[in-house]
Structure 1
């Protein structure tokens, strides 16, 4: 399934799914920003909150672009990984979680990862955007002890 087809299907599903929901005012949407440093061939865990949302989608944006490319999603029928994910390393989602795991991080993995999460709560739907800026360090830098920062776990 191509990117354009995926977005068409996802948007169609989203319209059907949220038809009976009142989408929150954009000022009520929560935006969580995180930064993470790693090296090529390492493993990283990108977090999308501590609660499992009703539906979510992970997208990726390369440095210098504003184009969001879908990586993975779950709209209630199990998680799906998309083709782009393989160019960033070995991608997986933790079972029963929204955490995106990249093993063997490639040089192409640097950029912004966004998880868009919709929570259908008793009070009203909640929308959260988790932005993780992934920086790649030179291996020499990491061996000098600059370390990596763990993302906020919400």
Structure 2
């Protein structure tokens, strides 16, 4: 499932669950790129903004593929975790946030995690894509002190 399909899925959620919502012009969509480094069996937090959106979906893409696989979403009826999530480690979302937590990171967890968030505000709605590249480093790299930067704020 490509980015265009995921965006279409998000838009469908919007139309079904948020009656009367106007979808923003694609030129008004914000794209935020982040990079996080982790080691196998560690715990990592992937951020999707500092405010809780109206709707969101997390997808995962393995290196060398364009296939995006859904991990978790909330379309206004509670958070759902998808089956793929269990192959990457123990996946959860922090309560009342969009922060994706992977405990016991598996060697299959390296890739791009994309969170697509819709903020329905009094102003025109805002859609933000958070692309987080998760890179696995070996213990030697970790001991040299390379770490992940703090998340970018909105």
**Distance of aligned partners of 1:105 and 1:25 in 2 relative to their CA distance in 1, 3 Å threshold:** same
Write the deviation string for residues 84-135 of structure 1: whole angstroms up to 9, x where unpaired: 0000000000000000000000000000000000111111111000010000
Q: Give, in whole Å, the separation in 1 of the partners of 2:127 and 2:141.
A: 37
Following superposition, which runs of at least 4 residues in structure 1 exceed 6 angstroms of deviation?
7-11
Matched, 1:42 2:56: no
Please, what TM-score do these two structures have when normalized by structure 2?
0.89
Alpha-carbon shift at residue 11 of structure 1 (Å)? 6.5
Q: Give, in whole Å, the separation in 1 of the partners of 2:11 and 2:153.
A: 28
Write the deviation string for residues 30-78 of structure 1: whole angstroms up to 9, x where unpaired: 0010001111000000000011000000000000011110000011111
SS for the counterpart of 2:146 is: coil
Gaps of 5+ in 1: 1-6
Q: Give, in whole Å, the separation in 1 of the partners of 2:125 and 2:22.
A: 7
**Equivalent in the alignment of 2:3:** none
Please, what TM-score do these two structures have when normalized by structure 1?
0.89
Q: Give, in whole Å, the separation in 1 of the partners of 2:54 and 2:25.
A: 18
**Equivalent in the alignment of 1:120:** 120
Aligned-residue CA RMSD (Å):
1.9
Gaps of 5+ in 2: 1-5
**Equivalent in the alignment of 1:100:** 100
**Equivalent in the alignment of 2:70:** 70
> How many correspondences in the alignment?
148
